Structure 1
Amino acid sequence: MAPVPALLEPLNLRFTNYEEGLALRITRKFPELFAAWLKTIPPHISVHLDGDLASFATPDVAGTVKLDATEAGIDWFDLRVVLDVNDATLTPAEIKLLLNAKGKYVRLEGKGWRRLQFNLSDEENERLARLGLSTRELSAEPQRLHALQLADDAAKKFLPEQQVEQIQRRAGELKTRVAPDLPGGVTAQLRPYQLEGFHFLAYLASNHFGGILADDMGLGKTLQTLAWLLWLREASPTSDKSSQPSSPEAPALVVCPKSVMDNWHAEAARFTPGLRVKIWPPSELQTFRDRLSEADLHVLNYTQLRSLGESLASVQWRAVILDEGQYIKNPSSQTAQVARVLRADHRLVLSGTPIENRLMDLWSLMAFAMPGVLGSRAHFGRLYDAKGDPFARRRLSSRVRPFLLRRTKSQVAKDLPDRIEEDLFCEIEGDQQILYRAELKRAQQLLLRVKTQKELAAHQLHFLTSLLRLRQICCHPQLVNPDLRVPGAKTEALLEQLEPLMEEGNKVLVFSQFVELLGLLRPLLEERNWPLFYLAGDTENRGELVRQFQATEGPAIFLISLKAGGFGLNLTAASYVVLFDPWWNPAVEMQAIDRTHRIGQVNKVIAYRLLIKNSIEEKIRALQKQKKALAEDVLGEERFSQSLTLDDLHFLFAD
């Protein structure tokens, strides 16, 4: 039998004259130490516990996880993960203290030391994760979920039976399968996955959801959105669920990078000519608010969004679309803050990279598209970005699944042609535009003095020089004057195109006929720490560069001179090609694209041509199509450009 003094030794009791007995200083470690000590007392020894110490003889507080759903508007519920405890004497504040202690003892006034013990099975954790929830949310802020999400079988275990029936009935009334016919005004034949995307957008609108279309770059997010906007105008799925729905004539708003504004106009003219689209130059912005009726779709860039913020917020838009939505990935930025206060019946984000560097990127996009669905920023960080939590990503995926659609190139490969070519337009402005207009005016004045084909032959060198200088100015002003420190519109457009492609892990070939331009691009790309390869006419280790590019894991960019890289290269690791400047002979462009689109290529190839709108480049592109038969029989640029007639030059040098 152990003597009593020996049993007391683990407590490290000390004799005090004040108490005239043994005493122990109470520290944070005391409850666990004392509880563990009690378990070592042999059964035949009785320990009398006075006051608060008596609480150590009572069972731990046990709890059961439940969901408390409160209606928060039509079809929406504010949901709390709550704990139903087996001790009715505990107040909500005391239960919260016990929760925050995470299984440790808490001294409650008048109730001694208590601790809370509850464990969820793996199945129960999985059920909560399917709902996008976690016991991390116990005692936290309510989370807003839609009836569609709560109708999942995973919610049955945690909700009262009567409420389960109510929610499932409500969810059954919703339009979960929306498959309207494509509007007659859409002139394109949508591929199967694009039609699915259009139906997804219609589903969002019919249920008054916002959402994210996150297809890979090059899969036609713009076309799907334009078809949806035309359907919105014709079908008017207005919103009895919106507190202030727009009028039937309300326009839509697209906010996008400056470099793709013209692309929206061009795509709409091509695929949905019935939609009136207006791009706003800086000089007209002061009249913006008074001229909304002039278009069905207004296109602004993100700089304009910030400058017009206050006036935009007073408009009730039919729809607001943020193209390249990663521009609002920083939720504290002015751009994101202005975007969130816009009023619209329908909200949509387009982004091939909804998560670029961190999960908070997605929170910011959803805070615009579906405010409140992912909770506050702080809550989002705790619940979905918690390190070491195996269910965190599963919860996030479950929460956003009804509102986000993403398809990669590999997933829809069977619906894609082997090669996709797309013209991307941007506009020059400022000093670059002044330089271009001055050169164009000189060529026009010379052309006025030329009346016959014979006179044209005498001045042919002058005209070819003017054509070359205009094309160089379009590419970058420093190609005609190295001392100019003027930003190039196409350089900015290229960087904006490459950003998401690099984030997605793609390999890209960038071709230009101007070696000097590649030299300007090289340091800009190196600043961004993107893996970079360079090939021009004087490059000696061509084979080794190709081998390294092909073998590189992850994203990479290959800058290639069109003449140096047009033949003899096999670069099938790349699935994107950018033609920075148009070549007179389209056959030469095809040879460039064929560096990657050849035997051994397992991916679909997407090629972009960067063109300056209303410039010599746009007219060269048109002339390529007109003279395609001639181009196929001509070798080299010189002979093709020399074949230009007087009528061709009038066309090329026209305003």
Structure 2
Amino acid sequence: MAAASSSGGDGEPYLLGYIVTKIVGMRYYSARVAGRESVGLVREPLNIHDGNAIAVKNARHEQVGHLPAPVAKALAPLLDSHLLTAAHGIVPRSDSKINRNAYSLPCQVHLFAGPAAAAVVEAALEEAGLDLIHADHPEFALSQSAAVMERTKKAGRDVDKLFSLVGGKEGKARILPMEAPGDVVLSELFDHQKGALGWLLHREESEDLPPFWQETEDGRFENVLTNQMTVERPPPLKGGIFADDMGLGKTLTLLSLIGRTKARNVGVKKGGGAKRRKVEDAGEGPRPTLVVCPPSVFSSWVTQLEEHLEPGSLKVYMYHGERTRDKKELLKYDLVLTTYSILGTEFEQEDSPVKQIEWFRVILDEAHVIKNFTARQTKAVIALNAERRWVVTGTPVQNSSFDLYPLMAFLRFQPFSIKSYWQSLIQRPLENRNKTGLSRLQILLGAISLRRIKETDIGTKSMIELPPKTVLECYIDLSAEEREIYDQMELQGKNKMQEFGDRDSILRNYSTVLYFILRLRQLCDDVSLCPLDVKSWLPSNSLEDVSKNPELLKKLASLVDDGDDFDCPICLSPPTKTVITSCTHIYCHTCIMKILKSSSSRCPICRHSLSKEDLFLAPEVNHSDEDGSGNPGSDKPLSSKVQALLKLLKTSQNEDPLSKSVVFSQFKQMLILLEAPLKNAGFNILRLDGSMSMKKRLQVIKQFAHGGPDTPTVLLASLKAAGAGVNLTAASTVYLFDPWWNPGVEEQAMDRVHRIGQKKEVKVVRLIVKGSIEERILSLQEKKKRLISSAFGKKKGGKDDKEMRVEELRMMLGLDMGRPVAGCRPSEACHVQ
């Protein structure tokens, strides 16, 4: 057996070894595969001929054959049960051109599994008569896998030298800034936008070989990193990552790119009149661009189209709500706008026109949405057919460097679009704190991405001339009564955490720990958000008893509905029709039911077996209506934090009666609670949250933007509903009512106000309760910021994801707090008594 220590991490999946088999059935497919080529192995549980079928696809995602039935019969149950975490195929090196009429080809299948599953996997392979060539086997060095070659440094091959050569090539080409097409785009681009447009066009029109590919002396093409060899020239990587900082006008730059594709300006005369003629680019047929974005950003694209484009210059279709099912209809448009959730919904619908079209270009806006590789919407966008692919996000890394892997899979950037290569060449070196991992990641991003930030170091010029932004931490003391309640809740949370003990137990019971964290955060905002009878919702004994108490489970699940910050781990959206499992994990009803219908029938988080009887539906929670006419309990005394906010708002109003402010909170119920005291204090307010339709959100944003003495001056906004793609430059002050552990989300919120179009100095005030979980969240944010900057900067990588999760949970409850809190020493701070 291969030693588990080779994994480089306790419990982390590692390469067990490989089996030698064949790709068969090739005569039934026209697609071919070359020697040294990586091939994808795709389970086909619904195959009418064989439920164990494993299809083999080439680098262009075309099926070339399948694995032999005996091999598939052995591997399928191991893959379905997740005992095998990955199986990666590669056609061994061939020194002569492969016979294109061959019926079969040799194939090495490399198998990855966790240490705990290794013995079971090896026993299953032995029973099936398959010989596993593991690390101690004399033939192991014959493997063509980059994961193996990385460890053996076969034939003097130096992976880091190959990366450095790629890094040296990038940046040599001089890319000229480009103007927006004047017959499509009315607005003048800033210099940095012209530079970005030039870069985007260069990436799309370059015919260079993709990074790591070179032409050999005999006219074939070789990937020097994987040793893949092919007779056909690999297509250029037309696209990349557009990662400019938030608020730098990426949307207008992208509209200019779409406009230049639609038509080019020619025959422009000097000195006055310009005679213009639309000239379609080379090529026949329609060239539609598909833009995919979250619902909150959908309205922003609509607004940008209205503000910056010549009416009628681009034909635009909103693929949302009631929509066509006719592929030919969509092909009539230059731009089709849709959302990630719609693509996720249509992923398994064979008649979806979005799936059938060969798009000229696909743009993923706010692309960090697809950071969960297992989510249905992520799989849906990766499966789209497109000639040009763009990832657009100001926060490409949010929690872990693994956030980048789904982006590579969407871009089809080989070999990093293959999970086992990403893990072996980038992820594991990063997690093991190997400096080569960070160096490789930076070179990789440098080869395919553009990132500029607004704020630069002191003494250097900013990217654009924006008014300055000041961030203040405003520290608040709880009242004696609030402090007593808070301390009691925190003590119970610490005790429960210590009861769980080891890491695995904490992860199994993480829902309970998260509820304590949620309640502590809510107590910092307002005691009325949190039921004080802890025993009414927390199991008094161990969690094994929970599955016997459906009513208790319903109470647990209902708590999710009053916070925006609990995402379903499958679809990465706030749960709709919330379900909690007997193992206390929370999902959307449709998401978890799909899991139950699959062959695994296990909880995606803790891997416990699940049946329909293990699911419990949360009761509906009725909130106050959208117009704020509900009674938020005005008889009760105001919380310390609400009093602090009112004092700050009044001070700001006294300084400038026409100034506008945005108050962001994680909790929709908190926004509702704020309405009465702000109205009573004389503020004209609006609310923007995730429960509103897209039409209603757009209406609120437009209403807030209007000037004048009687217009709204305070917008109460949900961080998720207004945290991306929304223009709130009518305001000049931002209040972050409660901190969020992902600094990228907070940055997005700030940059709704501090962006192109802002005329005033922007002040951001973060309301932080002293001696609470909120100070610890600031410390966690500092860690996340270092991680985010490391991808494009020069700092060190992070730990294993599970270790980080447990460390963060303990930290949030005030355990392991021997070190000083880095986030609690702001350069500027205000104190509200």
TM-score for the superposition, normalised by structure 1: 0.43
Structure with bigger helix share is 1
- Bigger Rg over Cα: 1
